[in-house]
Structure 1
Amino acid sequence: MNNEAPSPKTALIIGAGPAGLMAADVLSARGHKVVVAESKPSVARKLLMAGKSGLNLTKDEPLDQFLDSYGEARSVLQPIVSAFGPPEVQAWAESLDQEVFTGSTGRVFPKAMKASPLLRNWLGKLAQQGVEVKTRHRWVGMKDGYVFETPDGRLTMKADAVVLACGGSSWARLGSDGAWMDFVDLPIAPIKPTNMGFDVAWSTHMEKYFGTPVKGVRLMAGPQESRGEFVISKTGIEGGGVYELSRFIRDGETLQIDLLPDMTIENIRKRMEIPRGKASLSNHLRKTLKLDPVKQALLMEFGRPLPSDLAPMLKALPISLRGPRSLDQAISTAGGLPFDVLDENLMVRTQPGVFAAGEMLDWEAPTGGYLLTACLATGRWAGLRAAEWLSA
């Protein structure tokens, strides 16, 4: 079955994640007919998954500091995120009847913590604005339009403006499988995992610590450091503290852990000079430095043979890693459509009227609200510019 659906002054959004839904929101609010095509049976699956552990919407911090988290993409994203940054994201959530609060680290969450109430209210708003969402519509190519596999067969759709919001290449079961890269006929920056855990070849003595969180540490990799915690798993390490450094570790920097971040080397040495007597090294470390069992286990795992002066190692314990987790196990990905194939409106230079947004663009950021904020901001930016294109 091959149907063609010409639709004057229609915007087609491909992908119903945060970026695609935000593009649909601003386009429909300006009176344009909007069709959203989503490959999965339901929308925003990755957003819902992220919300299971508390939906981190954004981070309440100065804009310059916030923008620094985007690394090399900072200059491109600056006008986009400046127009829809932490204050605007919070106001947007509250406009959907989701009261927010800021945690001790500056991370902003809806009071409901989950993503489902926000998404439900957002979809209700989009329905009122006339947005048509077509699920189980998988984009499979281009031939006289945008070709989709649907439950009713193959369908070709045309539109006056298109926003591509196809996601990255992680968590394929939730819809971000990167299949779009096979047929967009555009340059693609290599896809790399980011915000992921790392594999470790643990010795048997670490087995009893699998699942144990490591708190009160400072992690360092190259120019970046984190005071976040992480978890020891059966296959390695994972968690917010590791995710913040993941791109630097992935690119070759050594991960080091400061097991006593609130003590100086001199202070550690002074305490270690207390006579040990008949106490074991483990008890001596526990009594003099309050070094808990999991930190001691990490010291023994990666520090042997132990030097006579333990203080420098306690402040910068090098961690031996086998490598990053697989692409599909990463929270997000770097790579995708390079910004140089897009103009300042996020429109594809060689395809007038086609815009791109979200994680399919070549940028990366740590978890902590930066990912979601940039997806929403680029979706809004592309949607507004598409609306201007339709009205021109």
Structure 2
Amino acid sequence: MADVKVIGAGPSGLMAAEVLASAGHRVSIHDRMASPARKFLLAGRGGLNLTHSEPLETFLTRYGDAQSFLEPAIRAFPPAALIAWANGLGIETFVGSSGRIFPTQMKASPLLRAWLRRLDALGVRLLTRSPWRGFDSTPTILALGGASWPHLGSDAAWLPGFAAKGIMVHPFRPSNSRFLVNWSPHFTGRFAGVPIKNVALTYRGRRVRGELMISREGIEGGAIYALSRHLRDEPGAPLVIDLRPDLTEETLATKLARPRGKDSLSTYLRKSAGLSPAAIALLRETGTAPDAHAIKALALSLGPPAGLARAISSAGGVARDEVDEHFQLKKAPGTYCVGEMLDWEAPTGGYLLQACFSTAVMAARHLASMLEKG
């Protein structure tokens, strides 16, 4: 039995603590906030998306250029294992229409309460208002988070300590963020917060399906998040929006060929093309002709991401070659980095939490095995 520290009481830190305590070690979790898992609770407010039900081979591709970096950890603790873990806490799950997996209660708070009870029963000590104070000789797992939603705890205050140690950390950038668009006040006054569902987006040859959400500052939603890294890193091209992806241009043109009669243009487009009021308003806002070709290829110019502080997640972090295959720091043996503080990103859909859990399990299992060997 050894004394082990986990720094950070988000999902990565809590999972690492559980694995280590289950292996018989004395674990203390330190977190600088007054209560644990603040961002986790916020993420679960609209429905806690734990993971995704798609085949694992497809699932792994969602991590882009970080796939090879994360794949061993996710294979070792895959979505099926995460679901079984949640079930073991008494949290039942279901698969949504998009393939995403949620707790039946949809919220994070019941899961967190059950989890904290389990950790308490394992003897884990939770020390709040206890920030990381730098590297020491105690076996440690760092789960310090990225740099989005800093007021919830992930403020990257750990960066100077890593710089002093000579550990490369790539700058944090917004991921899964809204992108700025210079909307008119009239448009945002009516449609801010309104989704446009079942669209297809194409950007520099990449096409995704999903929904958009109009915001006062710009545009966001699942389809935007799926293209987030490309919109951020390869700016300058128009985002092409297909407002009726289930119809061919020819079929849509036939529908629009019916006489308009006394209908207003909005009523005509709603009846003939099946467009929502927000989609019709988007055509007007962008000066797009209401014909079949334009409805299936509306071009929208985007500005930069809205900013890191309110992005769902962050890209960047501890460079991949600074850690070994178990996420142990090469320049600080016995100290591991897990979760969002590592250099990877993923779209929403369950991929973010899955990688946070999987990296924590990988690191904690390895640390436990090293401690057992003495």
Question: Counterparts of 2:44 and 2:81 in 1: how far apart (Å)?
Answer: 19
Q: What is the CA distance between 1:70 and its match in structure 2?
A: 0.5
Matched, 1:312 2:293: yes
Q: Which residue of 2 aligns with 1:222?
A: 204
Q: What is the CA distance between 1:371 and its match in structure 2?
A: 0.4
Residue segments in structure 1 that go unaligned for 5+ positions in a row: 1-7, 146-157
Question: Counterparts of 1:350 and 1:108 in 2: how far apart (Å)?
Answer: 38
Matched, 1:365 2:346: yes
Q: Structure 1's 280 and 51: CA in aligned 2 closer, same or farther, altered over 3 A?
A: closer
Alignment match of 2:109 (pick from 111, 116, 128)? 116
Q: Secondary structure at the match of 1:112?
A: coil
Q: What is the CA distance between 1:280 and its match in structure 2?
A: 4.7
Q: Which residue of 2 aligns with 1:261?
A: 245
Alignment match of 1:290 (pick from 274, 287, 300)? 274
**Matched residues, percent identical?**
48
Q: Which residue of 1 aligns with 2:132?
A: 139
Question: Counterparts of 1:283 and 1:37 in 2: how far apart (Å)?
Answer: 58
Q: Secondary structure at the match of 2:210?
A: coil
Q: Which residue of 1 aligns with 2:17?
A: 24
Q: TM-score, normalised by structure 1?
A: 0.89
Residue segments in structure 2 that go unaligned for 5+ positions in a row: none
Is the CA contact (8 Å cut-off) linking 1:303 and 1:313 kept in structure 2? no
Superposed CA offset, 1:262-298 (max 9, x none): 1111112223333445655434323321223211111
RMSD: 1.8
Return structure 1 stretches of 4+ with deviation > 6 angstroms.
none
**1:338-349 paired onto structure 2 within 5 Å:** 338-349=319-330
Q: Which residue of 1 aligns with 2:142?
A: 164
Q: Secondary structure at the match of 1:368?
A: coil
Q: Secondary structure at the match of 1:75?
A: helix
Q: How many residues align?
A: 367
Superposed CA offset, 1:310-341 (max 9, x none): 32221121112222111011010010001111
Q: Which residue of 2 aligns with 1:208?
A: 190
Q: TM-score, normalised by structure 2?
A: 0.93
Q: What is the CA distance between 1:113 and its match in structure 2?
A: 1.3
Q: Which residue of 2 aligns with 1:153?
A: none
Tell which structure's C-alpha radius of gyration is larger.
Answer: 1
Is the CA contact (8 Å cut-off) linking 1:167 and 1:358 kept in structure 2? yes
Q: Secondary structure at the match of 2:247?
A: coil
- AA partner of residue 178 (structure 1): A
Is the CA contact (8 Å cut-off) linking 1:302 and 1:320 kept in structure 2? no
Superposed CA offset, 1:19-50 (max 9, x none): 11111111111111111110101111111111
Q: Which residue of 2 aligns with 1:149?
A: none
Alignment match of 1:274 (pick from 255, 258, 261)? 258
Superposed CA offset, 1:121-165 (max 9, x none): 1111111111111110112445xx3xxxxxxxxxxxx51x11111
Is the CA contact (8 Å cut-off) linking 2:196 and 2:276 kept in structure 1? no
Superposed CA offset, 1:331-390 (max 9, x none): 100100011111111111121111110000000011111100100000111111111221
Question: Counterparts of 2:338 and 2:352 in 1: how far apart (Å)?
Answer: 12
Question: Counterparts of 1:197 and 1:18 in 2: how far apart (Å)?
Answer: 24
Superposed CA offset, 1:220-279 (max 9, x none): 223543332222122222222322222221122532211111111111222333344565
**1:183-194 paired onto structure 2 within 5 Å:** 183-184=161-162, 185=165, 186-194=167-175
Q: Which residue of 2 aligns with 1:127?
A: 120
